[in-house]
Amino acid sequence: MSESSTANLRTRLREIIFGTDTRPGRAFDIALLVVIVASVVNLMLVSVAAIESRFGPVLHALEWLFTILFSIEYAVRIYAARRRWAYIRSFYGIIDLLSVLPLYLALILPSAHYFVAVRALRVMRIFRVLKLVRYANDANVLTRSLRHAQRKMQIFLGVLALVTVILGALMYVVEGPTHGFTSIPRSMYWAVVTITTVGYGDIAPATPAGQAIAGIAIMLGYALLAVTGGIITAELTNEISNERQLRQCPHCERSGHEIDAHYCKFCGGHLDKYEEEDPPADKEQAADRDKLD
Using CB under 8 A, which residues numbered 263 to 292 contact a second copy? none
Cβ proximity to a second copy: between 101 and 130 the closer is 130
Using CB under 8 A, which residues numbered 12 to 71 contact a second copy? 40, 43-44, 47-49
Using CB under 8 A, which residues numbered 172 to 191 contact a second copy? 172-174, 177, 182-189
Using CB under 8 A, which residues numbered 82 to 121 contact a second copy? 113-114, 116-117, 119-121
Cβ proximity to a second copy: between 79 and 115 the closer is 115
**Residue 220 in contact with a second copy, rule: CB under 8 A:** yes
**Residue 248 in contact with a second copy, rule: CB under 8 A:** no
Q: Nearest distance from residue 21's CB to a second copy, in Å?
A: 21
**Residue 136 in contact with a second copy, rule: CB under 8 A:** no
**Which one among 105, 162, 252, 267 touches a second copy, defined by CB under 8 A?**
162
SS3 letters for the chain? CCHHHHHHHHHHHHHHHHCCCCHHHHHHHHHHHHHHHHHHHHHHHHHCHHHHHHHHHHHHHHHHHHHHHHHHHHHHHHHHCCCHHHHHHCHHHHHHHHHHHHHHHHHHCCCHHHHHHHHHHHHHHHHHHHHHHCCHHHHHHHHHHHHHCHHHHHHHHHHHHHHHHHHHHHHHHHHCHHHCCCCHHHHHHHHHHHHCCCCCCCCCCCCHHHHHHHHHHHHHHHHHHHHHHHHHHHHHHHHHHHHHHHCECCCCCCECCCCCCCECCCCCCECCHHHCCCCHHHHHHHHHHHHHC
Among 6-14, 25-33, 169-177, 273-281, the segment contacting a second copy (CB under 8 A)? 169-177
**Residue 155 in contact with a second copy, rule: CB under 8 A:** yes
Cβ proximity to a second copy: between 64 and 200 the closer is 200
